């Protein structure tokens, strides 16, 4: 019998999965699962962390919003965080939300503003003295990316605000928030342009082939309007961004100096009077029945729109009531998004092929008889994992029902077994990677869903030199959470791969200024070449924790990398670790231990890491756990502003002494370190009679 997964291990698994899906959605603009599946994973994690608050870690996706900012765009810190909104697909949940609002407001008069949920990217626009001075993406909610030039290129963007209907002039400083999107008609035009260019490329390649020269790559069509909008908004070429023709709706105010609004409806009318594009399809509702009537009205009408919506956003209208209701670390308590059910179609599943993902995940993909669904032609769909295929009994040759979950990703819902002819074939799980031929890791997990135990059988290629993974691995290797190499972004990696200048991590450290200036026809000049080589050299001393985060060991994220570095001290020690030694660390379960052992047993990985070490990259931990410290094994919560220490510095000091740092106070908390404006965590600590320290107490304890 398989060992039952512990709550701690399940929480870690969910955190890893959701963090990876956040990266795919927010940073890479290429999601691999539907909104519904993502929401189910997140809901399970929220429930588990609520039940076991001592297991909540600061880097849990429940404590974050969206993805991390792009390393290629200038960071912008939001004065007021840009939070995400909780989703529901269920009328019952919507009614519970309404009951919760009325209960918390103690029967005060309550109104909602219901708006269309535009399927695009959230942005903030900062105006000073009526002029647009900066535009930024949501990013991780606290820090976004500067996309001012590209937002200025959007036709609907007001460069200067007009006088408002409630104020003779707009406030001196006002931050507006909205959604950048791509119209369906423009999306289709762009894909037609790509199709025409690919026809030209095919003709050119025929001539190049005759001459024995390198063939040109064909361009990939855009998958959907949302992904196209995301990629366009973050382009470094503002002229190309403007040419693609993004659009904009504005729907709120982040903050305003010298302006006081009473309701959200008032906000919408006022910013419209400033000359801002405000979607006219919104409604003030007093009851759930009115909200549902608005929902039903737009469920059909949305097909006639020239832009994608995937539901409605319901917000409490009164701004004073919103303030009373408050927010969580991730979402406002006064708003909820109601998602529409996905459209479906029937077609034939012609074949199942294996696609190697960016981190080595092997995903089965259905090749379908093309069918028109939710505004586009669909010929491929996700099958998620082998366990899902077996559970749904999906076979090659079946008639299948497909849907666009979240209006983006086609997926196979079920097979129509009653239409089988006997010629259908059962799917065979992969035993080797289709890209590199290497052995794959088979991972089996199970969970209870609606009273049924659902088994997930996934496969992972753990060869760091696998060609299908190489580009994304190299990009992540140079990113901030990893080796933090400034200038080594996607565009540079693409150039280096195109010129066959890198084939693994070690090649990055062998690049010279002369190598890079040989790309001067691609815009690489002496200064940028020198800067990149300097940044590469500086990254050699980041230490073992950063190296382990950078090399993409399956199931090991940044938190896991820190644990491994602190407990084993060197790459050599870790590579020789047994399952028992790994599992002796409380946060590491059998699955992660197996993944780590398999990773270091792979000969290709050994060679790659040996080459990396030969370049002078430090493979030892910069900090080791002091197990003799009086705080080793103790759980701390940091809250409020400390007089001299940043909370991040205090956390590092505690971790170096073997302590655990949690984001929430529970009976298992040993100490709460409280600074100025400590808030509810301090109240709870006092209620539970937990030892409370100030900064001086903490430093004395760490030094004792």
Choice among 82-91, 417-426, 607-616 with the minimum mean pLDDT: 82-91
pLDDT at 293: 94
Name, in order, each residue with C-beta under 8 angstroms of 16's C-beta and a sequence gap of 6 or more: 555, 557
The reply to whether 191 falls in a domain is no
- Alpha-carbon dihedral of residues 269, 270, 273, 277, nearest 10 degrees? -70
pLDDT of residue 71: 46
Instruction: Tell me the mean pLDDT in the region 175-194.
Output: 93
Q: Quick: pLDDT tens for 322-334.
A: 999 998 877 899 9
Over the stretch 362-396, which tens digit does the pLDDT of each residue have?
989 999 998 877 656 788 888 888 888 998 999 99
* Token pair of 159 as six digits: 């460069």
Asked whether residue 124 falls in the same domain as residue 94, the answer is yes
Mean pLDDT of 474-480: 86
- Are residues 515 and 603 located together in one domain of the fold? yes
User: Strand 452-461 relative to strand 361-373: parallel, antiparallel, unpaired?
Assistant: antiparallel
Query: Percentage of residues in the chain with pLDDT exceeding 70?
Result: 87
Residues 6+ apart with CB under 8 A from 665: 53, 637, 672, 681, 684, 685, 688, 690
Structural domain harbouring 300: 75-183+228-339
Query: Is residue 309 domain-shared with residue 349, that is, in the same domain?
Result: no
Residue of 114, 178, 176 whose CA lies nearest to 316: 114
Do 45 and 4 contact (CB within 8 A), yes or no?
Answer: no
Residue 72 burial (CB count, 10 A)? 16
Same domain as 267, residue 161: yes
Residue 591 belongs to a domain: yes
- Kindly state whether residues 615 and 645 are assigned to the same domain: no
* Last residue in a domain, options 339, 371, 403: 339
The pLDDT of residue 644 is above 90 = no
Q: What CATH number is given to the structural domain containing 581?
A: 1.10.150.20
Residue ranges of E strands in 202-343: 247-256, 282-285, 309-316, 335-339
Strands, E assignment, 12-159: 75-77, 87-88, 112-118, 121-128, 131-137, 143-145
Convert the pLDDT of each residue in 24-67 to its tens digit. Answer: 655 554 555 655 666 667 777 777 776 666 666 655 766 555 55
C-alpha–C-alpha distance, residues 6 and 4, integer Å: 6
Instruction: Give the residue-averaged pLDDT of 624-652.
Output: 79
User: Does 349 have pLDDT greater than 90?
Assistant: yes
Please identify which residue in the block is written with the tokens 């990985």.
Answer: 605
pLDDT at 24: 62
Q: Which two tokens stand for residue 89?
A: 């697909």
The whole-number pLDDT of residue 157 equals 95
Q: Is residue 334 part of a domain?
A: yes
Flag whether 396 is in a domain.
Answer: yes
Q: Is 591 a catalytic residue?
A: no
- Residue 490's pLDDT is 77
Helix, strand or coil, per DSSP, at residue 78: coil
Neighbours of 682 (CB within 10 A): 20
Per-residue model confidence as pLDDT tens digits over 658-668: 777 777 788 88
pTM of the model: 0.53
Is the same domain home to 480 and 604? yes
How confident is the model over 440-446, as a mean pLDDT? 83
| Residue 196 counted as domain residue | no
Query: Of 4, 50, 96, 117, which residue is the catalytic one?
Result: 117
pLDDT of residue 350: 95
Last residue of a domain, one of 624, 654, 681: 624
pLDDT, residue 1, reads 36
| pLDDT for position 47 | 74
H or E element: which one contains 457?
Answer: strand 452-461
Q: What is the domain count for the chain?
A: 5
Higher pLDDT, residue 167 or 560: 560
Strand partners, 443: 458
């Amino acid at each position: 019998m398989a060992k039952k997964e512990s709550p701690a291990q399940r929480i870690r698994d969910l955190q890893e999965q959701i963090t990876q899906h956040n990266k795919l959605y927010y940073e890479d603009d290429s999601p691999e699962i539907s909104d519904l599946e993502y929401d189910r994973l997140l809901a399970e994690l929220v429930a588990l962390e609520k039940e076991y608050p001592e297991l909540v870690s600061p880097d849990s996706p429940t404590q974050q919003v969206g993805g991390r900012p792009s390393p290629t765009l200038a960071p912008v810190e939001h004065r007021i965080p840009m939070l995400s909104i909780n989703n529901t697909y269920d009328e019952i949940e919507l009614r519970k939300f309404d009951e919760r609002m009325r209960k918390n407001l103690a029967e005060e008069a309550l109104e909602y503003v219901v708006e269309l949920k535009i399927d695009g990217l959230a942005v903030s626009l900062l105006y000073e003295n009526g002029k647009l001075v900066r535009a930024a993406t949501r990013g991780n909610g606290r820090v976004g990316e500067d996309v001012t030039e590209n937002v200025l290129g959007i036709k609907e963007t007001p460069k200067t605000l007009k006088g408002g209907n409630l104020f003779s002039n707009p406030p001196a400083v006002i931050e507006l928030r909205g959604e950048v999107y791509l119209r369906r008609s423009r999306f289709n035009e762009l894909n037609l342009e790509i199709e025409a260019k690919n026809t030209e490329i095919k003709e050119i390649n025929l001539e190049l082939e005759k001459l024995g020269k390198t063939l040109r790559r064909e361009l990939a069509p855009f998958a959907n309007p949302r992904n196209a909008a995301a990629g366009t908004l973050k382009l470094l070429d503002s002229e190309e961004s403007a040419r693609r023709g993004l659009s904009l709706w504005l729907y709120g105010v982040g903050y305003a100096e010298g302006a006081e609004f009473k309701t959200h409806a008032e906000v919408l009318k006022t910013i419209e009077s400033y000359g801002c594009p405000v979607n006219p399809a919104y409604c003030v509702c007093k009851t759930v029945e009115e909200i549902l009537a608005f929902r039903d009205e737009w469920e059909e009408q949305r097909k006639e729109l020239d832009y994608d919506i995937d539901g409605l956003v319901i917000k409490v209208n009164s701004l004073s009531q919103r303030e009373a209701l408050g927010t969580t670390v991730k979402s406002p308590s006064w708003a909820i998004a109601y998602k529409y059910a996905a459209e479906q179609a029937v077609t034939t599943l012609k074949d199942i092929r294996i696609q190697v993902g960016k981190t080595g995940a092997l995903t089965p993909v259905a090749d379908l008889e093309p069918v028109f669904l939710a505004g586009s032609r669909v010929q491929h769909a996700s099958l998620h994992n082998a366990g899902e295929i077996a559970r749904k009994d999906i076979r090659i040759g079946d008639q299948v029902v497909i849907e666009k979950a979240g209006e983006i990703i086609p997926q196979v819902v079920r097979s129509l077994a009653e239409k089988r002819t006997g010629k259908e074939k059962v799917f065979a799980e992969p035993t080797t990677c289709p890209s590199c031929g290497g052995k794959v890791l088979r991972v089996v997990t199970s969970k209870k869903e609606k009273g049924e135990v659902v088994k997930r059988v996934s496969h992972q290629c753990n060869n760091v030199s696998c060609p299908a993974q190489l580009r994304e691995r190299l990009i992540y290797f140079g990113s901030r959470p990893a080796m933090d190499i400034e200038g080594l972004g996607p565009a540079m990696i693409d150039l280096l791969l195109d010129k066959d200048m890198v084939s693994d991590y070690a090649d990055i450290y062998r690049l010279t200024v002369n190598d890079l200036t040989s790309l001067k026809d691609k815009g690489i000049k002496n200064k940028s070449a020198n800067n990149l080589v300097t940044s590469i050299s500086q990254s050699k001393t980041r230490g073992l924790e950063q190296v382990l985060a950078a090399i993409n060991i399956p199931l090991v994220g940044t938190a896991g990398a820190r644990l491994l570095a602190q407990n084993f001290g060197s790459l050599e020690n870790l590579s020789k670790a047994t399952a028992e030694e790994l599992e002796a660390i409380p946060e590491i379960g059998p699955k992660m231990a197996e993944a780590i052992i398999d990773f270091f047993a792979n000969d290709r990985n050994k060679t790659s890491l040996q080459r990396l070490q030969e370049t002078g990259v430090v493979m030892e931990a910069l900090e080791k756990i002091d197990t003799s410290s009086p705080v080793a094994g103790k759980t701390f919560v940091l809250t409020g502003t400390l007089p001299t220490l940043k909370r991040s510095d205090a956390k590092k000091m505690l971790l170096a002494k073997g302590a655990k740092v949690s984001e929430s106070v529970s009976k298992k908390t040993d100490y709460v370190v409280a600074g100025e404006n400590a808030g509810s965590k301090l109240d709870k600590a006092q209620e539970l009679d937990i030892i409370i320290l100030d900064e001086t107490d903490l430093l004395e304890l760490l030094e004792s």
